[in-house]
Amino acid sequence: MHNSFKPQNRILMGPGPSNVHPKVLEALSKAPLGHLDPQFIELMDDIKLLLKYTFKTESDATFVISGPGSLGMEASLVNLIEHGDKIIVCVGGYFANRMTQIVEKIGGQVVVVKETWGRAIDPQKLEDALKQNPDTKVVAFVHAETSTGALSNIKLLSEIAHKHNCLVVADTVTSLGTTEIYVDQWDLDAVYSCSQKGLSCTAGMSPITFSERAVHHIKKRKTPVQSWFNDLNLLLGYWSGTDKRIYHHTAPSNQFYGLHEALLILKDEGIENAWRRHKENSGKFISKLKQIGLEPLVPEGERIPNLTAVKVPEGIDEAKARSELLNKHNLEIGAGLGELAGKIWRIGLMGYNSNEKMIEFCISALKDVLKK
């Protein structure tokens, strides 16, 4: 006999997903609407306004792609890049490396600016690469590298890229809603994120925004965008305009309800307050980790406030410790990826989970597991 699936309620303190606010869960369960229902169009418009607030942008090309952050990554790159274009990607971790794979698949020529895993991107390395490659069209980088816990200064990276007449793609998957981001002020051209981290919604939505300059560049392309689903021209037909919307795809209405509620909660708190809360809790968490003998991987000043990479102490079986946290304390934390596999744990204090109660809970669970 098959029974209805009943997941055990986990405490999600890995690199994402994070736990969802009860009001968001409630919103997800409302009756679905058709994707061209006038009520649904109203909801889309409201989500757009809330996203403009969250991204700190006035751009009308701000919307949601029905898919995870990786789809936002692909959308940003596939719209801006034509076959043979030269692209610089700043790579200091697993997710920036994924950008290089997408650029190669769409026929772009990749130049990699390499950084040590666990460190912010060195702006001088980007400056040098741009001097050596004056024909570069686009510079792409990750703001908060989920695989390492390192936060880069994308305001400065963006300034350097624009000085060399490049468009800028910024991954804010782990930083949106938790860390300062000013899309317009920092001159970012294509910026994407996800719904399941700082926004405390379920996975499967990718908020995205394109600058006027980026939209102009896309409309002036010599070749068509190499993707049907991600073509900005088609997406804007669905997301923009006061007249008749052009059907693009069947948008998942319930996911939209959840995201809308999550964005409302963030707006009610005030985004600057959310940034401050994540920063303060990160400081408290790291000092408590040190008290129990655990060290952060990333140097001070380069840490993501909502994702801490912790060095696994000598002689500890990191996978065993994680499975004990899950089985005994119902607590999920993340393992290391790529170069850092087996060397770190990644612990998230994201959105709804960034509070003192969660810090205390996580520290006492770690203490219990490590004591053994």
- Are residues 126 and 174 both part of a single domain? yes
pLDDT, position 159: 98
pLDDT, position 52: 98
Distance of CA 350 to the CA centre of its chain: 11
List the structure tokens of 30. 């409302």
CATH of the domain at 328: 3.90.1150.10
- Are residues 59 and 189 both part of a single domain? yes
Q: How far apart are CA 248 and CA 265, in angstroms?
A: 29
Q: Is 2 a domain residue?
A: no
DSSP class of 303:
B
pLDDT, position 161: 98
Range of the domain at 342: 11-16+270-371
pLDDT, position 8: 92
Among 25-39, 41-55, 234-248, 264-278, the minimum mean pLDDT is found in 234-248
More confident residue, 102 or 242: 102
> What pTM, to 2 d.p., does this model score?
0.97
Q: What is the mean pLDDT of residues 346-352?
A: 97
Angle between the N-to-C axes of helices 212-219 and 69-80, in degrees from 0 to 180, rounded to the nearest 10: 60
Domain boundary among 223, 247, 266: 266
Q: What is the mean pLDDT of residues 136-162?
A: 98
pLDDT, position 243: 73
- Are residues 54 and 164 both part of a single domain? yes
DSSP E strand boundaries for 69-179? 86-91, 109-114, 136-142, 144-145, 150-151, 167-171
Residue 85 has pLDDT above 90, yes or no: yes
- Are residues 256 and 356 both part of a single domain? no
Q: Is 6 a domain residue?
A: no
pLDDT, position 129: 98
Contacts by 162-168, CB closer than 8 A, 24 or more apart: 162/187, 163/130, 164/130, 164/134, 164/136, 164/139, 166/88, 166/130, 166/136, 166/137, 166/138, 166/139, 167/80, 167/137, 167/138, 167/139, 167/213, 167/214, 167/217, 168/138, 168/139, 168/140, 168/141
Phi/psi-derived region of residue 16, left when phi > 0, alpha when psi is between -120 and 50, beta in every other case:
left
pLDDT, position 241: 73
pLDDT grade, residue 362 (50/70/90)?
very high
CB 193 within 8 A of CB 143: no
Span 236-283, pLDDT tens digits: 999 997 778 999 999 999 999 999 999 999 999 999 999 999 999 999
pLDDT grade, residue 69 (50/70/90)?
very high
Q: What is the mean pLDDT of residues 315-321?
A: 96
pLDDT, position 244: 84
Q: Please, what is the average pLDDT of the chain?
A: 97
Q: What is the mean pLDDT of residues 17-41?
A: 97
For the chain, the domain total comes to 2
Q: What is the mean pLDDT of residues 5-20?
A: 96
Span 177-214, pLDDT tens digits: 999 999 999 999 999 999 999 999 999 999 999 999 99
Residue 372 has pLDDT above 90, yes or no: no
Domain boundary among 250, 266, 282: 266
Q: What is the mean pLDDT of residues 206-233?
A: 98
Domain boundary among 221, 248, 266: 266
- Are residues 142 and 77 both part of a single domain? yes
- Are residues 193 and 299 both part of a single domain? no
- Are residues 257 and 275 both part of a single domain? no
pLDDT grade, residue 367 (50/70/90)?
very high
- Are residues 254 and 286 both part of a single domain? no
pLDDT, position 1: 83
Residue 172 has pLDDT above 90, yes or no: yes
